[in-house]
Chains A and B, each alone.
Chain A
């Protein structure tokens, strides 16, 4: 198991290097310049010399290989540089937002698991009955409805029927749990519904497949009760593919709630990333992408390790 884990960790290094290089090159192909945007927008009257001086100060006049080397060197020493737009350290920009994004991802994952496991199991056990059809309608709707649209509907319902909208300033759950949850529960529900739909469909098909396996028939033949057959023998194997989906979706949610964060005015990583892209804030963009890549690859690793633990055959 340790050898398997070390192999998987070693594979992460070239993956991350490749992502860093591709990101670095791609964002520089896009036309536009953070300096011009910062200094000339809204009627700012600065000379070309001032623009050039600012580019020099930000290191944008250096050859691209040197810029890449300096960035890599900074990453290794945990010096992520400064945002080209605000001048604040990138670590500070990301650090102030990552907590919210992780909390929404965790809450959405909880919502998803709480909904998906019973729904997927019930649908599988009552296959091709009205109950199954109803659950399939619910899950297909979850896949079809974009999370941000559901978020908008949630807000409109709250406004129309309760004359209330969620708080717009994030407060840590440790500081004020009620205010924190009254802000974040709604985006978690909006995102968690789609997340649940994906997982529920996976659980349904897995359980249906597993229930046709020989060892299930054997268990029944030995007189094991149906409850034990499902929850002890079938679920353990049926949940393996679901764990993969839950893990990957979780990693995606940390940086992928771009539009939902706009709808609920959440000061998360997704919104920071969009703002950075709009402004061509190279340092911030490449660091966020790299961070999300690390999270994605790490979650993938954890999923693989759990897989390896639950199913020794995958270690072969």
Chain B
């Protein structure tokens, strides 16, 4: 079958928050209304935006942090991409078109002709092949950060300069998301041959902007690539990504020293900026592809007992927490293991059947107390390893309060992030507050967090073995029928939340604020996509 774009339900994730803001309800401010039908993109201008962390590398293959994505994405292209404004539709980026064999084991891509790298050399299928080989079989000295995503690719062939063929070992329902991943940037084969690690220190891609300079700790500058293969784009002359502390960022936005920040603000920060900028502000909100969860160490008492884990989950008033914590933190919607609002998500009717998701908290707490008594842990106390930053601190306080109501005492031990990772890796924890994010809602990317620890020791840190979960995970990974796959995802969630090796608490809410003159940017449920800035223009 031939594809020009992916035929899936469109979920528009962007919504103006104007209705939610008290200032607007009082009619004291009017937020900009974004791009109207008569607005045509204008060329020119430099976009300045904040990024709250320094990049540890320039190599998108060897990192998972937004600090790299938000600076490097404008310099690179990927084979496919998510369609702006229509997430999760997938469209071609370097690929002009593609075909998929009926058995779903061969993917053939035709590249756009005349694609150039920033050094003027042509980008061909060989560059795509070599980049993907680097991702799935990294050479010595290179660490591919998402290597498990490529395990089902058997071979990559290039019959001609514009054609690339991926042959699969077996069906992989998430492979199109892998091709659209913003991390899988295409590097120059010639340069990789000379130095497989060149992208670590050299920025040279085929994206809409050329690299100009990086002043460590200060700023990063890109300028328009005039030979970009998408005619007429980009609109901006360039961009400037400024390294900023979160505390300084809000003031800088209010003072118009920067125009945007693309990761996310808290509700309080949003309101401060909107109040300062008035009609010159625009805000976008979406449930974030990022959730807070509590991992139990299932090898240690008392959390080797499923009754204790389930009791903890039962005691958390997620609905009440969502209503209240969303006013003061980035925490938002109640959800299971997949993002609320995504096509894989459970309905509320399905969720309330899970332990800890029912709305009758008195009944939940009574059941939690009964389970603890039955397990012999009526006066349970434990230490929660937590991070010393928001919204983890707020979540820790929420957990203490909720568990106090069933007589459980929690010591919320807030540590630096390095110490937090140390506890996670060594298993030196009873319970650990965690969060998890991916670049797409695809269940394979998301559910891996909850499979048996021996299958994914890098992310599934709860130290539990459950082959039933593993089997459900494997079956959904190969299931291409969305309805059937969704059923398997539901079964996975039912099993996980019954056993409660790790329990979701709340999903985050992504709040992006920018100056109203920034146009063409697309909100999405993840801060990892739509960051190549090709469609952005300044009004």
Contact = CB atoms under 8 A, between A and B. Distances in A.
Contact of A159 (B57, B254, B417): B254
Interface string B238-279: 001011110111011011111000000000000000001000
Contacts of A48: 457-458
Given A36-B425, A158-B255, A169-B242, A280 B418 contact: yes
B416 interface: yes
Interface stretch (B142-150, B318-326, B470-478): B142-150
Nearest to B146: A45
B168 to A, nearest CB: 20
Interface string B417-431: 111111101000000
B438 A37 contact: no
Contacts of A41: 64-65, 417, 421
B251 A87 contact: no
A166 B244 CA distance: 13
A262 B255 contact: no
Given A159-B254, A159-B255, A263 B248 contact: yes
B218 interface: yes
Contacts of B65: 41-42
A160 B418 CA distance: 38
B245 A45 contact: no
Nearest to B216: A96
B217 A267 contact: yes
A165 B54 CA distance: 23
A97 B216 CA distance: 9
B219 A31 contact: no
For the complex, would chain A's binding face be called helix, strand, loop or mixed by DSSP majority? helix
A85 to B, nearest CB: 5
A248 B421 CA distance: 38
B382 interface: no
Contact of B219 (A45, A85, A158, A169): A169
B64 A42 contact: yes
Contact of B245 (A44, A92, A169, A265): A265
Interface residues of A, number: 55
A261 B244 CA distance: 10
A7 interface: no
Nearest to B423: A31
A272 interface: yes
B217 A271 contact: yes
A55 interface: no
Contacts of B200: 87
A42 B247 contact: no
A93 B216 contact: yes
A155 B251 contact: yes
Interface in A256-304: 261-265, 267, 271-272, 275, 277-280
B418 A278 contact: yes
Interface string B124-154: 0000000000000000010111111000000
A264 B257 CA distance: 12
B301 interface: no
Interface string B50-76: 000011110000011110000000000
A261 B200 CA distance: 29
A184 to B, nearest CB: 14
B257 A40 contact: no
Contacts of A155: 251, 255
A39 B145 contact: yes
Contact of A54 (B143, B148, B425): B143
Nearest to B456: A45
A164 interface: yes
Interface in A1-48: 30-34, 36-48
A167 interface: yes
Interface string A161-182: 0011111111000000000000
Looking at A31, A261, A262, A279, which has the most chain B CB atoms within 10 Å of its CB? A31
Contacts of A38: 56
Interface residues of B, number: 55
A168 B145 contact: no
Contacts of A279: 418
Contact of A262 (B141, B247, B416): B247
A272 B54 CA distance: 10
A31 B248 contact: no
Interface in B174-232: 200-201, 215-219
B255 A165 contact: yes
A67 interface: no
Contact of A96 (B217, B242, B276, B457): B217
A54 B65 CA distance: 18
Interface string B400-443: 00000000000000011111111101000000000011100000
B418 A42 contact: no
B380 interface: no
B459 interface: yes
Contacts of B252: 165, 168, 265
Nearest to A277: B416
A166 B257 CA distance: 8
A228 B436 CA distance: 72
B421 A168 contact: no
A263 B247 contact: yes
A237 interface: no
Contacts of A165: 251-252, 254-257
Interface string B371-410: 0000000000000000000000000000000000000000
Contacts of B141: 57
A50 interface: yes
Contacts of B146: 44-45
Contacts of B437: 42-43
A86 interface: yes
A265 B56 contact: no
Nearest to A262: B245
Contacts of B242: 168-169
Contacts of A163: 255
A142 to B, nearest CB: 22
Contacts of A50: 143
A87 B197 CA distance: 12
Contact of B459 (A43, A158, A280): A43
Contact of B216 (A54, A88, A169): A88
Contact of B218 (A39, A158, A169, A261): A169
Given A88-B216, A96-B217, A32 B257 contact: no
A44 B425 CA distance: 14
27 contacts: A32-B416, A33-B422, A34-B418, A36-B425, A37-B421, A39-B143, A40-B421, A42-B64, A43-B64, A43-B437, A44-B64, A45-B64, A46-B144, A54-B143, A57-B141, A85-B54, A87-B57, A87-B200, A155-B251, A159-B251, A164-B255, A165-B252, A166-B255, A169-B240, A262-B245, A271-B217, A278-B416
Q: Which 6 A-B pairs have the closest CB atoms?
A: A165-B255, A32-B418, A265-B248, A44-B64, A42-B64, A267-B217
